[in-house]
Structure 1
Amino acid sequence: MAQQTVQPTVRKQSNPKVEYYKTIWKRLRKNKAAVVGGILILFFIVTSIIGPLFTSYDPNEVDILNKVQGPSAEHWFGTDNFGRDIFTRIIHGMSLTLFVGFFSVVIGGVIGVFFGVISGYYGGVLDTIIMRVMDILLAFPGIILALAIVSVLGGSLTNVIIAVGIFSIPAFARIVRGSTLTVRKLEYIDAVRALGASDARIIFKHILPNVMSPIIVQATLRIATAVLTASGLSFLGLGAKPPTPEWGAMLSDGRSYMAEAPHMVLVPGIMIVLVVLAFNIFGDGLRDALDPKMKK
């Protein structure tokens, strides 16, 4: 009889990074609220990009004959005090709202992460100086600090982004500093330093990749705060200027017509609530998914 040759089974080695991301995705998928938040965020982003292509009205077109009209088949969300279609203005304002939220957090995140890593890695006097400056910024409520900055710089959408970015810096700096202090004490960091690696290489190659989880979570949650703050500044007349279809400014325009046209306040108000809620619940779910203590 011919002898059969038994081939040894070779087990494929899985990529640790791929497995890590798969684990995060599984945890995130189990959180129904986070999934709903993620779907809403994706919907808002897609709508802000392609939505204006499907609107039949100009967001700034004045139609006095049809002003303060309620929702109808012609105007789904009604019209405002100038006869402008509110649905069209909501769609066009969505890109502005997300733009302000994303870019203000990018500004605050980049600067805050830089100061947080430098403070946590080098410590000493530098750490004391940076953290005391952050404590001073944290002593002011966010909206008050942003209000003061915009009052100095002047009211505009660009200055709102700068103001919201500045008051976001301390939150990122403190979180990254704490994570850097933890990672800096690990043995492999001492080993890399003993091999002659420069401080820049240690920071960018070994510390930053290990503190990205709290940065991502903080950025997601911070976008919600940024949107709310930017809308509040525009409501006070310090943000987007008329006739820009910004939701906070639309809310401000509608407050004088709350009795006869409540839709002018309800529609932009509900949209602000939905965006803030979506980023908050998605950020909470992302924090749980990225938390090492959740590993089984």
Structure 2
Amino acid sequence: MSNEVVNNNVTSNPPPHNPRLESWKTFFKKLRKNKGAMIGGILILVFIIIALIGPHFAPYTQSETNYSVKLTGPTGDHWFGTDHHGRDIFSRIIYGMGITMWIGFSSVFISAIIGTVLGVVSGYYGKRTDAFIMRVMDILLAFPGILLALAIVSVLGPSIRNLIIAVAIFSVPVFARIVRGSTLAVKKLEYIDAVKALGATDFRIIFKHILPNVTSPLIVQTTLSIASAILTASGLSFIGLGAQPPSPEWGAMLSDGRNYLYDAPHVAFFPGVMIVIVVLAFNIFGDGLRDALDPKMKA
């Protein structure tokens, strides 16, 4: 008899409702329905894996030369052909994947951290602090991103490190404005006033109650900014202000290949195609994230 009572109590008490778990389930459900976002996400995952372990399986090293087969088209030994130094383009693209991902992720990570801090401080404290920070952001936004990055790299000098710094600086205003707008919206909610009345510090309010509510637009912008950062970095390397030879960075490889467009178009074709595919993957995945994280869109 006692066992029946225990079983009835167990079956009659449903598991507690977890709003956060339900929201994540809804998010993944909507994301799975977006085929473009799933394809982009899978491609990004493949690119990251290649960047991490690809060089260990590349058929040749990134600087291995063989002038007897220079400017050879795609063959069984060289899937993407060889460049003007006889280097295997397929192997160099694999090595360049790590450089491209490092530039994209590191520059956006730096800009996201700085932009988030500036945006939260500006939106939460307002008044003169808000005015000062936003005017600085307006000055940075007055310059086209690629031109601002070009000016910074020209001053600091061409290198991958300076390229990351330049891309990070021109991306900061976008993050700052997005986080500021979200902070202003969340700060006006009634429960924030209630938390203040209970004596919570500004630090606790910002990190426990405001930042978790601005993560959705931040995640979407981060994904889209990585695509923009990769494209900008490739452009600067193409004109000689980014990665320097013999680095297998794709923009630098594309720059080398432009001299052989008529005789050996594959030298420029494959690095250019990889840049397009990576940027497209991040863009369509970012669009899918935006749709999945939008509370106005129903599953």
TM-score, structure 2 length as denominator? 0.96
CA distance in 2, matches of 1:109, 1:186: 25
**Residue matched to 1:181:** 184
For structure 1, the 5+ residue unaligned runs are none
Correspondence 1:242-253 to 2 at 5 A: 242-253=245-256
2:106 is matched by which residue type in structure 1? F
**SS of residue paired to 2:62:** coil
CA distance in 2, matches of 1:68, 1:288: 45
**SS of residue paired to 2:155:** helix
CA distance in 2, matches of 1:118, 1:69: 56
* CA deviation vs aligned residue, 1:232-259 (integer Å, no higher than 9, x gap): 0000101111111000000000000000
CA distance in 2, matches of 1:200, 1:15: 26
1:61 is matched by which residue type in structure 2? E
Instruction: State, as a whole percentage, how many aligned pairs show the same letter.
Output: 67
* CA deviation vs aligned residue, 1:87-112 (integer Å, no higher than 9, x gap): 00000000000000000001110000
**Residue matched to 2:263:** 260
CA distance in 2, matches of 1:20, 1:92: 39
2:22 maps to 1:7: no
Cα deviation for residue 295 of structure 1 reads: 3.4
Correspondence 1:97-108 to 2 at 5 A: 97-108=100-111
Correspondence 1:216-227 to 2 at 5 A: 216-227=219-230
Cα deviation for residue 73 of structure 1 reads: 0.1
2:173 maps to 1:170: yes
Cα deviation for residue 48 of structure 1 reads: 1.1
Cα deviation for residue 61 of structure 1 reads: 1.4
Of 55, 59, 63, which aligns to 1:56? 59
CA distance in 1, matches of 2:81, 2:278: 21
CA RMSD of aligned residues (A): 1.1
* CA deviation vs aligned residue, 1:150-207 (integer Å, no higher than 9, x gap): 0000000000000000000000000000000000000110011111111111001110
For structure 2, the 5+ residue unaligned runs are none
**Residue matched to 1:278:** 281
1:109 is matched by which residue type in structure 2? A
**SS of residue paired to 1:75:** coil
CA distance in 1, matches of 2:175, 2:57: 38
Q: How many residues align?
A: 293
2:255 is matched by which residue type in structure 1? S
